[in-house]
Chains A and B, each alone.
Chain A
Amino acid sequence: MHTGFFTIYRRDMIRFIRFKTLLISSLVQPALWMAFFGIAMSASFNRLTMEIPTLPGVPTVDYLTFMAAGVIAMTTLFTSLFGGITILFDKNWGLMREIFASPLPRTQIIFGIALSGMTKSFIQAGIIMAFALLIGADLFAGFTPAGTVFAILGILLFVGVFSLGFLFLSAAISISLESPEGLQGIITLLTMPIFFASNALYPINAFPPPLQAVSLANPLTYLVTGIRYFAIGNNFQAVGTQYTVTPSAIGFAFLFLAGFTLMMFGLAWWRFQKAVVT
């Protein structure tokens, strides 16, 4: 196996640690989301849903716990879509030329960038989970220690595959663009529909059918489903909706994400073969 990606990976991580403001903001931001958005939203949602009769025999999950999965997913989405920006900086500073003129295969560049983005997402997911538990979310409630470890690994698996997919997409966009501003614009355009047409913050079964269709084609929905399955369980109710997840549904969610990621890798590979950097 070619290990050239590690060279790229290491440099990107050095930078991540070295740019203190970037480092701190990327660590604090998800916690802030959880703190403000989470607490505010759960206060109002919990009050609104108090009226809704609960299903007997199905464990009820409060809104904070419900949306923690959404915040992990959203943070992963943002971080991953932004992950390719290092490529744009490298291009603008002329650093990409050194790499492109070297024998390092271009796929290794893609892998290196994607893996460092994935690492950042893992760190952020960890922070959000810890912070969510701290402010009272009932993640991993009633799990054995072994079960908790398994659940965390499951979450990281889903977060990992998902983030790779969007990092590949981000790399593909970045290598085709000239300036970081362009990437910012595209990200803003992409994140809105991806985030809101998903089950991250509310159930999708109340959506009008077209929007439901969109959210069922949305990778974020499958990531959220996966995280909830591992962090909460396979049968619970929240926001007046019952969630039951069968193993085959989880399998499908994973395959969907894996398929998406493969497609995005194909896209990135193609864009990198075409790319001219001078």
Chain B
Amino acid sequence: MSGQIITVQELYHCFKEVVAVDGISFDVKEGEIFSFLGPNGAGKSTAINVLTTLLPIQEGRATVAGYSVADDPQKVRESIGIVFQDVTLDRDMTCREILEFHGNLYRMPRQERKRRIDELLTLVQLENKQDVRTKHLSGGMKRRLEIARGLMTRPRVLFLDEPTIGLDPQTRMRMWEYIKDVNREGTTIFLTTHYMDEADQLSDRISIIDHGKIITTGRSFELKNALGEDLIYLETSDLAGTREVLSEMEMVKEITIKPRGISAMLNGDGTKVLPSIMETLATRRIRVNVVNVKKPSMDDVFVHYTGRELRDEGAERASSAVTRAGRR
């Protein structure tokens, strides 16, 4: 639990004109779970591909497990494991063969290989599918098999590119638990995700990444606290009027117009401010239909920093529905 196991300085990567990673710098501490949270096309996978030596370094510097990614790729590969974003299973091999093959690639001793395979097949509940070819598995089963494969070698750093995509809620929870277990046993985890809850629950630290740039980094509660203490959401008969009222309040830090309502980030305790807001609205004859006070969530953090909403899919579409409210 000491030094930095990944260091990245001014990393830049482009595909022809498309700048996928635009000068990012960050460190990952040994033993932590670190997440990249960002929408589709943010550059998460590209960053992982560079760090795992699949793509060459174009500009910038990076080390993984103490080895330079540019100069010592072989050592880097010996220290890492990866679960790729999209399915990379041989359709005509059985689950057990897939894991055998992987163990052999990493030169795992026979006994250990067998023990680990049995353990992992049980964990991902594929024991009774072990001799089934992967083309006969459901999408979620494939994903589970891939996660099992990534966990097999207990690398020093494990890269998980959107690991729980396509899994049902129970399985996701189980995977999170297992990822945490693996982490407790000493493997540093580098995770990318566009699930808020995944980043929130799993990671020690989160970097929000968008358009190839890291926008902010911090612990989940730090990111939320930086936003403000409470978030008030209102649906009223007169949005413009409501906005005016809110922008005159002392404690209101930031206002965001939502598709059907308006939300305001507060500096202080929302329950204390709410009565005076309601009162002012009443004097202006603005009717309140919906009111809600809550702590900012990861979603709010994300919207705050990127100006877009992040949904399971269609992040691009959602972004057009949200307009950023100016500060006072």
Where the two chains meet, the residues of A that have a C-beta atom closer than 8 Å to any C-beta of B are 4, 6-7, 11, 14-15, 18-19, 93-95, 97-105, 276-278
Contact = CB atoms under 8 A, between A and B. Distances in A.
A101 B53 contact: yes
Interface string B86-102: 11111111000100011
15 contacts: A4-B104, A4-B105, A6-B104, A14-B97, A15-B90, A94-B86, A94-B87, A97-B54, A97-B88, A98-B102, A98-B105, A98-B149, A103-B74, A103-B105, A104-B105
B101 A19 contact: no
Given A97-B84, A99-B105, A276-B54, 8 more contacts: A11-B97, A19-B92, A93-B88, A97-B88, A101-B53, A101-B80, A101-B82, A278-B55
Interface residues of B, number: 28
A18 B133 CA distance: 11
A14 B105 CA distance: 16
B52 A101 contact: yes
B131 to A, nearest CB: 13
Given A4-B107, A15-B92, A99-B105, A276 B77 contact: no
Given A11-B101, A14-B97, A94-B84, A100 B74 contact: no
Nearest to B84: A97
B56 interface: yes
Contacts of B86: 94
A107 to B, nearest CB: 12
Contacts of A6: 104
Contacts of A100: 53-54
Contacts, number: 64
A104 B53 CA distance: 13
A98 B145 CA distance: 14
Interchain residue pairs A-B with the least CB separation, the first 6? A94-B88, A7-B104, A102-B105, A103-B78, A103-B77, A101-B52
B101 A7 contact: yes
Nearest to A6: B104
A18 B86 CA distance: 25
Nearest to A100: B54
A98 B88 contact: yes
Contacts of B105: 4, 7, 98-99, 102-104
A83 B174 CA distance: 42
A11 B101 CA distance: 8
B40 interface: no
Interface string B40-58: 0000000001001111100
A95 B82 CA distance: 13
Nearest to B56: A276
B106 interface: yes
Contacts of B52: 101
B214 to A, nearest CB: 22
A242 B101 CA distance: 53
Nearest to B82: A101
A104 B101 CA distance: 12
A20 to B, nearest CB: 11
B306 to A, nearest CB: 25
A272 B97 CA distance: 26
Given A7-B101, A94-B84, A103 B92 contact: no
A15 B91 CA distance: 10
B54 A93 contact: no
Contact of A278 (B49, B87, B90, B101): B49
B244 to A, nearest CB: 51
Interface string B3-34: 00000000000000000000000000000000
Contacts of A277: 54
A103 B105 CA distance: 7
Contacts of B106: 102-103
B92 A278 contact: no
Nearest to A7: B104
A14 B74 CA distance: 28
A104 B104 CA distance: 9
Residue picked from A18, A98, A104, most chain B C-beta under 10 Å: A98
Nearest to A11: B101
Given A7-B104, A276-B54, A277-B54, A101 B77 contact: yes
A256 to B, nearest CB: 35
Nearest to B91: A93
A129 B56 CA distance: 48
A243 B97 CA distance: 51
Nearest to B153: A102
Nearest to B89: A95
A19 B92 CA distance: 9
Residue picked from B89, B105, B106, most chain A C-beta under 10 Å: B105
A15 B107 CA distance: 21
Given A7-B101, A14-B93, A100-B54, A95 B77 contact: no
A182 B205 CA distance: 46
A97 B89 CA distance: 11
Interface string B249-293: 000000000000000000000000000000000000000000000
A276 B55 contact: yes
B202 to A, nearest CB: 22
Contacts of B56: 276
